[in-house]
Amino acid sequence: MYLSESASGISPVTEAAAEKDRLAATKDDPSAGTLSHAGNDGDRTTLLDNARSAYTRQSEPDFLNTYTGDLYARNTTAQPVSEGGDGGTNGGNSTPTQQEQLPRQAKPGDTPADAASEQARKDDSGTPVDLTPRREVDQQMVQHAAEELHKLNNDPDASMEDYRTILQGTTEAERREIEHTYHEKFDGTFKSDATRFRSEADRDEIYAMTEAKDVLDLGNERTHMLDGATEHLSGDELRAFKDNFVKFEERAARDGLSRDEIAKTFRETSRLLDARGDSPLTEKDRIRLASEVMKQAAEPTSIDQGHHNTCNVTTVEVRLYQRNPSDAARVVADTALTGHYTDGYGFHSAAIDPEPHDESKTYPPQDGQRTHASELFQVAAINLFYDRERDVGSTNYRYEQREPTGPGDTGERLLDMSKKPPAEVLKPDGKPADSPNLYAGDLLEIDQAITGRYKDGAVITNEHYSSNNRDFYTTKIKSPEELESRLAEFKATGNMPVILLVNSQLEPINLDPNRASSDSGAHVVNITDYKPGPPPKFHVDNQWGSLSDRLVEDLSLEDLYTATLPTGDAITRMQGRVDSARESGQADFALEGKLLQLRHRQGLVSDEQFATDSASIVDRALRQNSPATPLDRYATSRVERLAQDLPTSQALDYLDRMYDAGLIDDINLVGDLIGMASKIETAKKLKGTSASESEQTAFSHDLDLIARRGESLPADMRNIWDDYLRRFAGPDKT
């Protein structure tokens, strides 16, 4: 969904520095010398603390060479891996391609165990397994393999040894490309064609070869990636990368990610660090992408959609970084290095422009902005969906991210590729379509296409919300109790985060008045955690920046359920609750304020009636507010928020009345003034040069009113106000 103005926040570099300071507090911990097996939650906490302490004791150069915080290996009964080693060897099994990093030389201090670690991996039964070599896909090999497999599939006398010669020893990435090339060249699928003349036993062996998973050495993949980071990064950027690396391994231990999943994430990140040349992206762009991937793998909820209508695929991106970070990282690496991405089944692909556009050029990104890595993921994921749609005879669309043409334009375009030449898809008002046009049910399909694994519908929709038949596979709910029950099931089966379809017009999803008119309806968020009550607790990740996450962190089950309803149904449900509260003699002023504001924004209450009813709520709240029965903080905040919808002069009078009555203090007031000024500045920016003379006069008049009220603030609050004026293009202080 559309985001008009990203919130300002702390940059990843600043966050990394703060994390480093926090870690340094444990540097003298005498128990931090070793990493022990974690058999329970207490041991696990100690494990993570010790890892932080060990990290802070390393000097900058030594850290990347000697870090031994193999959290996963020490948090399970799996065979530990040897640390160190040259980390960059490919075992002599492949020839480096143009974009592959040449093997690094072994470092002083390597032991025979380090050097042999690539041959030391064993499966769960203790049987030694061959490790997958690190190499880029050779497209000539892919073309040849696809052609040879097609010949074998059409030869009744072909032997299984011929299949083994082609398939054994290939990597997952190579097999995906072979299957995609086969599909493109021969209009079929290799697996289905292979069953034509083969016995059931032969078919099972072919399937096993094509579905085999890469087996990686976690220690070597980690070392290789960190060596690459040291080679290409320095200063704050290197420190940020290292901090995010530590956070990722800590999170991986907490969330129980497998060794191979962690190792594959490191390998995909290394592909960005190892590549050479300036096509299709420069080395600088690739290195920054690697840093962004590591940041997002460490903190998936930091991912945001920015100034774009991509809430849909952003929720999939967050979910994948949380559960399958290597799959998300592969989308970024593939598109950055080749300009296209092939799905997890090897059947469909998406070709995109990998250059950064608009806000994704900013590095490091600010809170609420979309990163370059997220742009690549989101654009590729959308086009992957449309490539699949084209194959089933539905639409033949292509989604593009371009540079915005001006205020209010996100730069997004949907093209109808069935037209010659391709034509922009238009909205009913004749303007270009500027969103992917996806439904909730499509998100499951995208998730499954990227991972190559079927997912049990972790997308929840309210059966009262009108949609289409593509939502058939989503999980339907029709009551608060059903919503909680489904979330409890997903939590118990380890299937979080859950994507939830919500109404962007409703609180607590839409708490920003600047978005009140820009987001009109369906939106999706991730429920990243659920804790049973009473009362139950939910953590919601809304990809509008961290401020939106915090605002909806501890909402009630009733509020969360109401947010899944169409606006009309939500108003009816809220009105029933308001009436019941009044009848009981305990008016719910917070709910009354919320309902009044919603009705006003829907055009059901006039501006004049809204001002009158707002004043009435304040009057009744003041009568109820007393030392014996004070108005609670939430109710006060909710009544205060009604000022957002009042004209500027009335809003200032309204706030002054609450201030004089002691309902809000200096800090509340300065925050309200800054919010009002920001709202006007945003509207002014969106209008740009198209603003009429009367509109420009109104903007200046309202900003001047707010500025004069700011000048009357107490000295300490005036400093906050003046700082706002200095940092932003706010009202004229004169």
Sorted by where each begins, the domain ranges of the chain are 12-90+216-391, 139-210, 456-562, 581-727
Question: Cα-flanking dihedrals φ and ψ of residue 17, to 5°?
Answer: -65, -40
* Confidence tier at 226 by pLDDT (50, 70, 90): very high
Q: Give exposure, 21-54, as e/b (b: 16+ Cβ within 10 Å).
A: eebeebeebeebeebeebeeeeebebbbbbbbbb
Region 50-77: mean pLDDT is 40
In angstroms, what CA-CA distances link 342 with 243, 385, 512, 531, 720?
A: 31, 11, 38, 38, 51
Model confidence pLDDT, tens digit, residues 307-336: 899 999 999 999 999 999 999 999 999 999
- Name the residue with higher pLDDT: 50 or 30: 50
pLDDT computed for residue 470 by the predictor? 67
Question: Cα-flanking dihedrals φ and ψ of residue 186, to 5°?
Answer: -120, 5
Model confidence pLDDT, tens digit, residues 641-666: 888 889 999 999 999 988 888 888 88
State both tokens at 236. 């704050």
State how far the Cα of 656 lies from the Cα of 664, in Å rounded to an integer.
Answer: 9
Neighbour-count burial of 542, counting CB atoms closer than 10 A to its CB (0-12 exposed, 13-18 middle, 19+ buried): buried
Q: Give exposure, 531-541, as e/b (b: 16+ Cβ within 10 Å).
A: eeeeebebbbb
CB count within 10 Å of CB 135 equals: 17
Q: What is the CATH number of domain 139-210?
A: 1.10.220.10
DSSP string, 711-725: HTS-HHHHHHHHHHH
Model confidence pLDDT, tens digit, residues 669-723: 888 898 888 888 878 876 777 778 898 899 999 999 999 998 888 888 888 888 8
Asked if the model's pLDDT at residue 15 lies above 80, the reply is no
**Percent composition of the chain: helix, strand, coil (DSSP 3-state, to 5):** 55, 5, 40
Region 363-388: mean pLDDT is 94
In angstroms, what CA-CA distances link 650 with 516, 676, 692, 694, 706?
A: 19, 12, 23, 20, 11
pLDDT computed for residue 455 by the predictor? 66
Residue type, 573: R
What lies within 8 Å, CB to CB, of 686 at 6+ separation is 4, 407, 408
pLDDT computed for residue 102 by the predictor? 32
Average pLDDT, the chain: 79
CB count within 10 Å of CB 471 equals: 22
- Contact predicate 272/290, CB 8 Å: yes
pLDDT computed for residue 344 by the predictor? 83
pLDDT computed for residue 467 by the predictor? 58
Residue 12: asked if its preceding bond is cis (omega within 30°), the reply is no
pLDDT computed for residue 548 by the predictor? 64
Asked if the model's pLDDT at residue 126 lies above 70, the reply is no
Residue type, 332: V
pLDDT computed for residue 233 by the predictor? 97
pLDDT computed for residue 406 by the predictor? 83
pLDDT computed for residue 196 by the predictor? 78
pLDDT computed for residue 123 by the predictor? 52
- Of 120-129, 202-211, 245-254, 512-521, where does the model show the most confidence? 245-254
* Percentage of the chain exceeding pLDDT 90: 43
Query: Which of 73, 76, 96 lies closest to 217, judged by CA?
Result: 73
Grouping H, G, I as helix, E, B as strand and the rest as coil, residue 374 is: helix
Model confidence pLDDT, tens digit, residues 399-446: 999 999 887 789 999 999 999 999 999 999 999 999 999 988 899 899
Region 463-476: mean pLDDT is 74
In angstroms, what CA-CA distances link 232 with 216, 274, 347, 510, 650?
A: 24, 10, 35, 41, 56
pLDDT computed for residue 133 by the predictor? 77
Model confidence pLDDT, tens digit, residues 543-552: 887 766 654 5
Model confidence pLDDT, tens digit, residues 138-184: 889 999 999 999 999 999 899 999 999 999 889 988 988 898 888 88
Residue type, 559: D
pLDDT computed for residue 701 by the predictor? 93
Region of 207 please: left (phi>0), alpha (psi -120 to 50) or beta.
alpha
Query: Which of 273, 311, 265, 307 lies closest to 289, judged by CA?
Result: 273
Query: Which of 203, 133, 196 lies closest to 163, judged by CA?
Result: 203
pLDDT computed for residue 547 by the predictor? 63
pLDDT computed for residue 641 by the predictor? 85
DSSP code of 221?
H
Q: Indicate the Cα dihedral angle 381, 385, 386, 387, nearest 10°.
A: 90
Region 612-625: mean pLDDT is 83
- Contact predicate 332/268, CB 8 Å: yes
pLDDT computed for residue 630 by the predictor? 63
State how far the Cα of 516 lies from the Cα of 193, in Å rounded to an integer.
Answer: 53
Asked if the model's pLDDT at residue 288 lies above 60, the reply is yes
Strands 340-342 and 349-351: antiparallel
What lies within 8 Å, CB to CB, of 453 at 6+ separation is 344
* Confidence tier at 22 by pLDDT (50, 70, 90): very low
State both tokens at 523. 């939106």
State both tokens at 1. 């969904």
Residue 534: asked if its preceding bond is cis (omega within 30°), the reply is yes
